[in-house]
Structure 1
């Protein structure tokens, strides 16, 4: 994601007593039942404690959406296939706004209630640990735009000719119910039906496009695991281009007609950027690539939505390099919590610096030195270490991006180019399609560079407050 956001400045119930022998007999007769508990409402993320839910792991989302840009109304059916990680009497899904019409679990009607972003579901039959279950939620209404703690907008953004759904960090709950935390990744099938003449673009590959009764249904499939915040839907008029890279990787680009001319030159670089990033970061982790370019102002930032990043207007080369690098670092290797954002943004910012070094510009060290020259009292850069933003409002600030990239350059200085590239490629491979945190990264680096001392790097650059000592 590229966006500078400078904002630093059970009650017990009485019941008849049951003789212990009678109680034992009753339990024996009914087989004991499932002595489950409700799943947790929230995963206690350090910055978004209500995000995600406990008690289950999602394997697949099947979303069937119908959107009317004229009224802003969305009708949806979400089928969430999950595995219980504990015995469950109830569980939560994240859903902000929208009206819930019906919920079933395993084909049986379930009881449910709402409290803020929590949709609590009580299935007809309790769920056993290890059991795979399917929850269907039918819902409707006008999806909301969500304001992040830093003031930026996400969720469902209405545009001049349609809508744009963006999810970082917690916006996906504005348009579908799910386990809205990066730790829980799943495959997706997304069907979006819109008025004839409009297009609907999502993640993965377009499997079909069918028009009937003045409506067109677009069916998208994402096979590789994807975090909820990386899911997107873009509805509007687009100039669509389908090509294939020399290695056979499909490319699908959707560009607002007003942005085609301005985007042409930079998007022509996409094959070279993907090839360069594969050389540096390892095999491309997904089954297709591309971009979505909407109009300036449709969103306040670019975002690394899986397979095809979203840009509000034609991107420059650095931004395209940055968002495509996220396909490895952030999309394939996803942060375990939102406190680990520097593992996304530090890597993607370093990719920008390395691209410049490899294409006739400044070296990474020269860029590092210029950033380090920032005065020590400049809190926008030195106000906190990259691994410890003070709150959710700061996870997209300069320290997470630039100081995160500086950590990587310090590692590179310590181990040398060859070992450094082995480390960043190996990190992407070791956690491909998974999640990881900062402690796992530092342990990985130390394991791959035995005999090297990283104590000062971790202490001064990754975890330390203020401007580190002169490098």
Structure 2
């Protein structure tokens, strides 16, 4: 995200359990070795957003079929979720804000369901789902989606365009406003979307563009994201788009969509996307996603967002630096996602420093001079800003300004060779997984053969101006 204001018993027993599962869905068998079935937790346990996400299962795939009527804002959905139970489940939760649920089936049998709180959909299957068992949940629902209006983070989720179209964008939550989901960064899944809209509307989503075909209700557009995605990184956008389709040098498809009124300057910046991705690949390793492109809105929303494979841009932010930032997230934040929201510097500090690296390589900027100038003018409030465990609602603040300074100081502390190795191998080591800032610290220490506790305490974990030892390492010398 880039804000506009700064902004995871023995063999005999295992065989017995598998044999029991195959005997038939209508037989509630014993659960030897695993204990009795119980409800899955109604939250994933994040310290900032403990009720977001759920426990007891792991989603592999969301297969979503949607009809959407721009004139009435009515959305009708049919969704199939493929998952595996990580405990024996008597019931389990999904997250959904707003739309009405019409029916739920688990493994083809009607399931009971209730709604609790502001986003909990509690599902009780006809029989328990045993630990290790793969199961499917099919949900029919409808309604007029509405964004979540967070007092600190603004509008998140399904939003409406002035043209009459709509789009989904928001962090830390967005998906819950338009489909049932396990809304936690800890549960990535592939995402398949077939959405039907009136013929005059265009649609863009995550991943690779599938077939388009006519139906009695309009035109169906298919998008398939085969890179596992965190829920808030999924999106769909409906408008009278101008499409631009091309490929990267390795054949990866690029699809970008421009809302009416998008400036020529923005289109020219996006046409440099292959160059941007080649540059970022030289720094961070091979491009880690199955597709690329961008979604350029007309609406001046308060942020742009790294939606997987295809970032979504505010109508006032389609500039080159923002495109570099959001695409850097495909390595830092998307394919390697945070373990907890307090680790968000692993997303935003790195995407912001990617902008520095671009300026250095493409514009000849002296980053040491840029760093020293920023240090010289930094206020006490700036130094008090935290880059780790900054508190809910404060995630998207100093990570954009103090964050790149911390990484430039780290580069000068451990040396260019070690720094290059760290940032280029981090995604490969953690690809399609989650990571924490302490894990990044330990990995950097191993690569650099240095104890970096003092540095991380001063820059990442602390909230005071670092001492000169950490403020002016290596070739960085204080300006007069």
Query: So what's the TM-score if we normalise by structure 2?
Result: 0.89
Q: CA deviation at 1:414?
A: 1.8
Unaligned segments of structure 1, at least 5 residues: 8-29
Report what 2:404 is aligned to: 405
Counterparts of residues 70-149 of structure 1 (less than 5 Å):
70-115=71-116, 116-149=118-151
Are the counterparts in 2 of residues 113 and 119 from structure 1 also a CA contact under 8 Å?
Answer: yes
Give the 3-state SS of the residue equivalent to 1:279 in structure 2. helix
Instruction: List gaps (5 residues or longer) in structure 2.
Output: 8-27, 472-480
What does 1:426-445 correspond to in 2, within 5 Å? 426-445=425-444
Question: Per-residue displacement from partner, 1:265-297 (whole Å, max 9, x unpaired)?
Answer: 211221111111111111000111000101032
How many angstroms does 1:172 deviate by?
A: 1.0
SS across alignment from 1:401:
coil
Q: Which residue does 1:156 correspond to in 2? A: 158
1:290 aligned to which of 279, 286, 293: 293
Q: Post-superposition shift, 1:151?
A: 4.0
Q: Give the CA deviation at 1:256.
A: 1.0
Could you report, residue by residue, the CA deviation over 1:88-125 in whole angstroms, capped at 9, with x for unpaired residues?
Answer: 10000000111010011000000111012100000001
Cα offset for 1:78? 1.5
Instruction: Show CA shifts across 1:115-161 (max 9, x none).
Output: 12100000001011000110111110111111234141111001123
Residue 319 of structure 1 is aligned with which of 319, 322, 337? 322
How far is 1:231 from its partner?
A: 0.2
The structural deviation recorded for 1:4 is: 5.1
CA contact (8 A) 2:4 2:302 kept: no
Distance in 1 between residues matched to 2:64 and 2:30, nearest whole Å: 37
Is the CA contact (8 Å cut-off) linking 1:5 and 1:396 kept in structure 2?
no
Q: Paired residue for 1:261, among 260, 264, 269?
A: 264
Deviation at residue 247 of structure 1 after TM alignment? 2.3
Report the 3-state secondary structure (helix = DSSP H, G, I; strand = E; otherwise coil) of the residue aligned with 2:377: coil
Alpha carbons 1:4, 1:396 under 8 Å: kept: no
Deviations, residues 51-90 of structure 1 (Å, cap 9, x unaligned)? 1000000000001111111111111111111100001100
Aligned to 1:465: 463
Deviation at 1:428, TM superposition (A): 1.1
Per mean C-alpha deviation after superposition, the further-off stretch among 163-172 and 124-133 is 163-172
Q: Deviations over 1:172-230 (max 9, x none)?
A: 10001010011110001111111111011100011111123350100111111100010
1:373 Cα offset (Å): 2.2
CA distance 1:395–1:111, shift in 2 (3 Å): same
**RMSD over aligned Cα, in angstroms?**
1.8
Q: Distance in 2 between matches of 1:200 and 1:386?
A: 37
Moved more, 141-150 or 171-180: 141-150
C-alpha separation in 2, matches of 1:376 and 1:53: 41
Structure 1 length-normalised TM = 0.91
**Offset from partner CA, 1:369-393 (integer Å, 9 cap, x none):** 222223442x2x223320121x221
Q: CA deviation at 1:408?
A: 1.7
What's the CA shift string for 1:7-37, capped at 9, x where partnerless?
9xxxxxxxxxxxxxxxxxxxxxx86457111
In the comparison of the two structures, how many residue pairs are matched? 444
- Tell me which stretches of 4 or more aligned residues in structure 1 moved more than 6 Å: none
